[in-house]
Amino acid sequence: MGEDIGLDVSLKETAISVRRDGKRIWRGKCPSDPTLIAEVLRKRAPEPKRVVFETGPLSVWFYHALQAEGLPAICIDARHAKAALDMAPNKTDANDADGLAHLAEVGFYRAVRVKGYDSMLARTRVAARSRLVQITTELSNQIRGLMKTFGLVIPRGKGATFEAEVQRLLVGQDELARIILPMLEAWRSVRSRASALGRQLLASARQSAACQRLMAIPGVGAITATSFTAAIEDPENFKTSRSVGAWLGLTTRRYQSGEVDYDGHISRRGDAHLRGLLYEAATVILTRSHAESDLRQWGLMLRERIGFKRAAVAVARKLAVIMHAMLKSGEPFNRTDSATA
């Protein structure tokens, strides 16, 4: 006995399918609210074995909310489910829910790890700050471009220097000032909010022993350390440190079929933002860092052989492996044997 349940989640409505003993016993729709869905399932599926839904924008909320309602929620990889769901003759929400319930029934799925509330909060803070920094850069570039049209070239500079130069060049340009000053005010406000989130990140990193340990690595700052610890959560989630590089999409793709066998570019799967941060840290290690380490020496030798970009990707992958090993062992960064990771 027991019911296997499939949920096809969308923003407004969720299609529900309930199966028992190889047969569908009920299906319907409900507003996309885990509390309301739990009420429906208590009536239609009194003994739920599995409640399966795909990864998506609402999956973190659904997973934790359904777990809090006492339901055995399982979030599965949408890419793996797609092959099975595409076998239905018609693509509908109801058919997708049926397909997910059937996958739950036969066990043909791969469950994914859903991050906890604290990890998602840290990731959200990093993402919000990154977006505000991007908006700040876009606004400053827009101001530079508009003023250049009128022959007012803003010298190179950031922050207060940029603002002072804009104010100086707008003296006597009343018509143009009425256009540019509102944009400058928006730039100032967004920059202030980004700085506030940056201070929050730094304070959070200073209170975390794991982040402090990772920040001892040259090139790794508060944002990279916070993003990495939030993504990894528990180091025991990975059997080996080497698998972290593949999980972040920093290992090469491979294609083999008959006599054809070749490696391609990196897979670029996983967290794109964290992958970019690790690449930036690797770039710092190879270019601006003056702290000597086996990792830096290994990267420099690799750069001479395969070029800078490929070497930076290799250092980023090895850096991810080292950081996970440090979290797992609790040991500090060792400059002399880091290249053997």
Read off the DSSP letter of residue 217. Answer: S
The rounded percent of the chain whose pLDDT value lies above 70 is 97
Same domain, 178 and 97: no
Domain with 18, as residue range(s), is: 3-106
User: Does 203 share its domain with 216?
Assistant: no
Q: Are residues 333 and 231 in the same domain?
A: yes
Q: How confident is the model at residue 41 (pLDDT cuts 50, 70, 90)?
A: very high
- Average pLDDT for residues 129-137, to the nearest whole number? 95
Q: What is the structure's pLDDT at 337? A: 65
Q: Does one domain contain both 247 and 230?
A: yes
| Residues 86 and 130 both lie in one domain | no
Domain check: are 133 and 167 in the same one? yes
Residues 237 and 313 in one domain: yes
Average pLDDT over residues 216-225: 92
CATH code of 24's domain = 3.30.420.40
Tokens 């500090």 appear where? Answer: 332
**Would 83 be classed as within a structural domain?**
yes
181 lies in the same domain as 242 = no
- Work out the average pLDDT over 96-104: 92
Strand ranges across the sheet with 73-76: 23-31, 13-20, 3-9, 48-54, 73-76
Let me know if residue 46 belongs to a domain.
yes
112 in a domain, yes or no? no
Q: What is the pTM of this model?
A: 0.82
Q: What is the pLDDT of residues 155-170, one digit of tens each?
A: 988 888 999 999 999 9
Establish if 191 belongs to a structural domain.
yes
How many structural domains does the chain have?
3
Q: Which of 228, 125, 139, 122 is nearest to 189 (CA)?
A: 139
For the stretch 183-205, pLDDT in tens is 999 999 999 999 999 999 999 99
Domain-located, residue 228: yes
The full length of the chain comes to 341
Q: Does one domain contain both 88 and 123?
A: no
Boundary of a domain, candidates 183, 207, 231: 207
Of 79 and 5, more confident: 5
Chosen domain end from 74, 106, 138: 106
Q: Look at residue 10 and tell me if it is in a domain.
A: yes
Which of 82, 106, 130 marks a domain boundary? 106
CA distances from 180 to 152, 173, 175, 254, 319 (A): 12, 10, 9, 52, 44
| pLDDT of residue 55 exceeding 80 | yes
Residues 20 and 126 in one domain: no
254-259 mean pLDDT: 73
Give pLDDT, residue 338.
Answer: 60
Amino acid at 320: A
Task: Give the whole-angstrom CA distance, residue 37 versus residue 70.
Answer: 12
Residue 258, in any domain of the structure: yes
Q: Given this model, what pLDDT does residue 336 score?
A: 75
SS3 1: coil
Residues 9 and 61 in one domain: yes
Q: Which residue has the higher pLDDT, 90 or 193?
A: 193
236 shares a domain with 259? yes
Asked if residue 97 is part of any domain, the answer here is yes
Q: How confident is the model over 295-309, as pLDDT tens digits?
A: 999 999 999 999 999
Q: How far apart are CA 221 and CA 210, in angstroms?
A: 12
Q: Collapse the DSSP code of 2 into the 3-class scheme (helix H, G, I; strand E, B; otherwise coil) and give the result.
A: coil
